[in-house]
Chains A and B, each alone.
Chain A
Amino acid sequence: MTWALLWKIVLLASLLMFAVVAVVTTIGGASDIRKLFRRLQEDDPPR
């Protein structure tokens, strides 16, 4: 395998994986934000 071919594969695979991570994190992160505020509010209600 040449270095050029290796970097082509790395680039394409990374872009693909990042696209998946971006979608999953966007959805999961929104849910986590709601949980975070609920927990902070229970621990110490905002003034």
Chain B
Amino acid sequence: MNEVVATAASQTNFSRLDWGIVAAYLAISLVIGLLVKRYATNMTAYIAAGQSVGVWLGVATMTGTELGLVTVMYSAEKGFKGGFAAFHIAVLAGIVTFFVGVTGFIVAPLRELGVLTIPEYYERRYDRKTRVLGGIILAAGGIMNMGLFLKVGSMFIVGVTGLSQHGWALPVVMTALLVLVLVYTVLGGMISVIVTDYIQFVVLAFGLLLATGLAIAELGWNNIFATVQATMGEGGFNPFVSESAFGVEYVLWMAFLGLVGCALWPTAVARALAMESTDAVKRQFRWSSVSFVIRFLIPYFWGICALVYFVTREPELATAFGVGGEPLPEGVEPGNVLYAMPLFVGRLLPIGLIGIVSAAMIAAFMSTHDSYLLCWSSVIVQDVIAPLSKKKIDARTRVRWTRILIVLIGIYIWGWGMFYDGKDDVWDYMAITGAIYFIGAFALLGGGLYWKRASSTGAFWALLAGCSAVLGLSPIRIPLGEGLLGLMGRDVSEEAAGALLSSERVELASVAFTMSVFVLLSLLFPDGESTEGTAKEEAAQ
């Protein structure tokens, strides 16, 4: 770690009292998980809470899942680097979630069909091989997507508590948090997840609002905007100008991402499928649109406040993070920007409140992990192992397999977090790895539900075409861009390669490619009479 950042990390308000608050909160969560375990007696109860969740609990659990600690961290990173211009991502996410809540786009017909997972729908609409391939790609993209959750979440803990100055702290916290979340998820299933999501929602919602109020009071409303203007200029506000960290293609990519993030992302869809009716699903999404704005907006604002705090109060720390105008001395690497927000929170919040907010953040960490672990493992069991198995697998065996897979995925994310070293922002890494699944899924779900001529051949190849999204990851994209520059006879550099093949450009191209494959092959190789007709018609029958 950068030396200035490491020294600064020790200056935090986090005290023994705060450690006590965190420990008490975690103990209570664990006890609740154990208490509600007895209700998880079958697969529907274990992975979909018996499909009996009411609207308000649905809003709480949707927010609890989608507002994870990793969300707070990657959003703060975007706010710190992009300023208020990053707000466009939050606004787009809110608008498209409200649109889904009004129209029921994709989620309402899925709930109407009563499926437990998205690949299960693939089999009903297309065929079994599409379900298995869809399950594999969904699980692969999803597991890769959560590969950095553990590391980034642990970075918050070590940053806010002042432990980040010790080299041993990060792997130790990663291991401890992983063990905690594995025990908790394996035991309770979706019912435990939903109940603790609710508790997390209550603590986190009020904690976020209180901490935001304190940040504004400490830094001054007008000062925050004036400092961003002075530091970033117009690019700190307008996402379309060239000096911003975004641009037109990025904004387009974010609009698409907002839509798939709420209507196609399996953990969000799992919440919709657990609701008691399609009407409840729509109301859940309409109300959750506010949470979908806030889950990005507040952390962006915290990232911005961290920037303003360091630039105005601790300029040497701002320089260490590579902002504020002063260049870093030769050979000194800038500090990891992900630490900026935790360091700021550690200085801003008073003793006691910092413990409550940290406990809520750890709860956010747990609720995201348990939902994701449960989601990917249940997809592998329901949509890959069960359809491929020659004999029928009973509910008890399915739950046991799900639990084993939860542990295996947990071990993977520990290793991936320790060793992956990409150059993308965490948010962009997650968008790209998620796209491996959702670009294909967008074609299959949208086409299957709303286009009669969608065929299983088109669906199968569209799933494979969607995997082209992986080309957007920097370890692949940059060498590819350098190769292209060489072929074009232009100067080859990492910066030029990144500009030629930006991640948003690669992902938009992947969307266009996948949709073309889906439409063309569906038209060229239509299904027979027996499989034609939309899923909505099937549900109506």
Contact = CB atoms under 8 A, between A and B. Distances in A.
A21 B287 contact: yes
A25 B59 contact: yes
A18 B42 contact: no
A44 B195 CA distance: 18
Interface string A3-41: 110011011001101110110111111111101110111
Interface of B: 36, 38-39, 41-42, 45, 49-50, 52-60, 63, 84-85, 87, 90-91, 94, 191, 194-195, 198, 201-202, 205-206, 208-209, 212, 225, 229, 234, 237-238, 287, 290-291, 293-294, 297-298, 301
23 contacts: A4-B84, A7-B237, A10-B90, A10-B91, A11-B87, A11-B301, A14-B294, A15-B298, A18-B205, A18-B291, A18-B293, A18-B294, A21-B290, A28-B56, A29-B202, A31-B56, A32-B53, A32-B56, A33-B198, A36-B49, A37-B39, A43-B50, A44-B50
Contacts of A8: 225
A19 B210 CA distance: 10
B59 A15 contact: no
B87 A10 contact: yes
Given A4-B229, A18-B209, A24-B56, A44 B38 contact: no
Given A33-B198, A37-B39, A44 B53 contact: no
A8 B290 CA distance: 16
Q: Which A-B residue pairs are the 8 nearest by beta carbons?
A: A28-B56, A32-B54, A32-B57, A3-B237, A22-B205, A46-B38, A7-B84, A29-B60
Interface residues of A, number: 34
Contacts of B49: 36, 40
Contacts of B195: 33
B59 A29 contact: yes
A15 B41 CA distance: 40
A29 B203 CA distance: 13
Given A14-B294, A40-B39, 9 more contacts: A3-B234, A7-B237, A14-B90, A18-B290, A21-B287, A26-B202, A29-B202, A30-B198, A37-B39
Contacts of B198: 29-30, 33
Contacts of B194: 36
Nearest to B195: A33
Contacts of B291: 18, 21
Contacts of B55: 28, 32
A35 B53 CA distance: 8
B84 A3 contact: yes
A27 B201 CA distance: 12
A14 B202 CA distance: 17
A44 B45 contact: yes
A27 B60 CA distance: 11
Contacts of A17: 290, 293
Contacts of B59: 21, 25, 28-29
